[in-house]
Structure 1
Amino acid sequence: MAAVTRCSVSLVRRLLSHHYKRRCVRVFKATRDQPPRACLSNLYNERLFHTTSAWSGPIMQFKLSDIGEGIMEVVVKEWYVKEGDKVSQFDSICEVQSDKASVTITSRYDGVIRRLHYAADDTALVGKPLVDIETDTGPEVAQEEDVVETPAMSREEHTHQEIKGHKTQATPAVRRLALENNIKLSEVVGTGKDGRILKEDILNFLAKQTGAILPPSPFHETRESQRPKEVQPASLPASLPASLPARPQPVLSSQDVTEPLKGFHRAMMKTMTAALKIPHFGLCDEVDLSRLAALRSDLRGISEARGVKLSYMPFFIKAASLGLLHFPVLNASLDEASQNITYKAAHNIGLAMDTSQGLLVPNVKNVQLLSVFEIARELNRLQVLGSSGQLGTSDLTGGTFTLSNIGSIGGTYAKPVILPPEVAIGALGKIQILPRFDSNGELVKAHILNVSWSADHRVIDGATMCRFSNLWRQYLENPASMVLDLK
Structure 2
Amino acid sequence: MAAIARGSSALFRRLVRTTTMTTETASDVERFLRRAPHRGAVVQFKLSDIGEGIMEVTVKEWYVKEGDKVSQFDSICEVQSDKASVTITSRYDGVITKLYYDADDVALVGKPLVDIETESASDVIQEEDVVETPAMAREEHTHQEIKGLKTQATPAVRRLAMENNIKLSEVVGSGKDGRILKEDILDFLARQTGAILPPSPFQERQTPPPDPPLAAAAESVPRRPAVSFHKAMAKSMTAALAIPHLGLCDQVDLSRLVALRAELKADARGHGVNLSYMPFFIKAASLCLARFPILNASLDQSCQNITYKVSHNIGVAMDTALGLLVPTVKNVQLLSILEVARELNRLQELGAAGQLGTADLSGGTFSLSNIGSIGGTYAKPVILPPEVAIGALGKIQVLPRFDASGHVIRAHVMNVSWSADHRVIDGATMCRFSNMWRDFLQNPSGMLLHLK
Partner SS state of residue 429, structure 1: strand
- Relative to structure 1, is the Cα distance of residues 54 and 363 closer, same or farther in structure 2, using a 3 angstrom cutoff? closer
Counterpart pick for 2:249 among 261, 284, 296? 284
What residue is the counterpart of 1:22 in the other structure? Answer: 6
- Relative to structure 1, is the Cα distance of residues 432 and 406 closer, same or farther in structure 2, using a 3 angstrom cutoff? same
Task: Render the CA deviation track for 1:419-467: whole Å, top value 9, x for unaligned.
Answer: 1111000011121222333333322222121111110011111222122
What residue is the counterpart of 2:50 in the other structure? Answer: 67
Shift of 1:378: 2.2
What residue is the counterpart of 2:334 in the other structure? Answer: 369
Partner SS state of residue 295, structure 1: helix
Question: How many residue pairs align between the two structures?
Answer: 404
- TM-score under structure 1 length normalisation: 0.70
Shift of 1:180: 5.7
What residue is the counterpart of 2:176 in the other structure? Answer: 174
Task: Render the CA deviation track for 1:261-317: whole Å, top value 9, x for unaligned.
Answer: 42x332222222211111111112221111110011111111111222211111111
Shift of 1:118: 1.3
Give runs of aligned pairs for residues 72-471 of structure 1, distance below 5 A.
72-138=55-121, 142=124, 145=127, 149=131, 154=139, 157=142, 161-164=145-148, 174=176, 179=181, 181-182=183-184, 209-210=203-204, 261-262=227-228, 264-471=229-436
Percent sequence identity over matched residues? 63
What residue is the counterpart of 2:440 in the other structure? Answer: 475
Partner SS state of residue 237, structure 2: helix
Q: Residues of 2 paired with 1:280 and 1:322: CA distance?
A: 23
Shift of 1:322: 1.9
- Relative to structure 1, is the Cα distance of residues 131 and 178 closer, same or farther in structure 2, using a 3 angstrom cutoff? closer
Shift of 1:476: 0.9
Shift of 1:181: 4.4
* C-alpha contact (below 8 Å) 1:106/1:152 kept by paired residues: no
Shift of 1:154: 2.5
Q: Residues of 1 paired with 2:343 and 2:356: CA distance?
A: 12
Q: Residues of 2 paired with 1:21 and 1:61: CA distance?
A: 24
Q: Residues of 2 paired with 1:353 and 1:480: CA distance?
A: 28
- Relative to structure 1, is the Cα distance of residues 356 and 152 closer, same or farther in structure 2, using a 3 angstrom cutoff? farther
Structure showing greater Rg: 1
Q: Residues of 2 paired with 1:394 and 1:441: CA distance?
A: 51
Partner SS state of residue 182, structure 1: helix
What residue is the counterpart of 1:240 in the other structure? Answer: none
Q: Residues of 1 paired with 2:97 and 2:314: CA distance?
A: 45
* C-alpha contact (below 8 Å) 2:94/2:118 kept by paired residues: yes
Can you give the 5+ residue segments of structure 2 that lack an aligned partner in the other structure?
Answer: 20-25, 153-174, 187-199
Task: Render the CA deviation track for 1:344-376: whole Å, top value 9, x for unaligned.
Answer: 222221111222333322222222232222222
- Relative to structure 1, is the Cα distance of residues 136 and 247 closer, same or farther in structure 2, using a 3 angstrom cutoff? closer
Q: Residues of 1 paired with 2:120 and 2:223: CA distance?
A: 53
What residue is the counterpart of 2:189 in the other structure? Answer: none
- TM-score under structure 2 length normalisation: 0.75
Q: Residues of 1 paired with 2:361 and 2:449: CA distance?
A: 32
Q: What's the Cα RMSD here?
A: 4.4
- Relative to structure 1, is the Cα distance of residues 445 and 281 closer, same or farther in structure 2, using a 3 angstrom cutoff? same
Letter matched to residue 306 of structure 1: H
What residue is the counterpart of 1:12 in the other structure? Answer: none
Q: Residues of 1 paired with 2:374 and 2:181: CA distance?
A: 38
Q: Residues of 2 paired with 1:270 and 1:387: CA distance?
A: 24
- Relative to structure 1, is the Cα distance of residues 97 and 339 closer, same or farther in structure 2, using a 3 angstrom cutoff? same
* C-alpha contact (below 8 Å) 1:412/1:429 kept by paired residues: yes
- Relative to structure 1, is the Cα distance of residues 75 and 153 closer, same or farther in structure 2, using a 3 angstrom cutoff? farther
- Relative to structure 1, is the Cα distance of residues 22 and 276 closer, same or farther in structure 2, using a 3 angstrom cutoff? same
Partner SS state of residue 470, structure 1: helix
* C-alpha contact (below 8 Å) 1:209/1:377 kept by paired residues: no
* C-alpha contact (below 8 Å) 1:318/1:368 kept by paired residues: yes
Letter matched to residue 210 of structure 1: E
- Relative to structure 1, is the Cα distance of residues 465 and 105 closer, same or farther in structure 2, using a 3 angstrom cutoff? same
Q: Residues of 1 paired with 2:360 and 2:379: CA distance?
A: 25
Letter matched to residue 71 of structure 2: S
Shift of 1:177: 7.7
Partner SS state of residue 395, structure 2: coil
Can you give the 5+ residue segments of structure 1 that lack an aligned partner in the other structure?
Answer: 1-14, 38-43, 185-205, 217-226, 231-242, 252-258
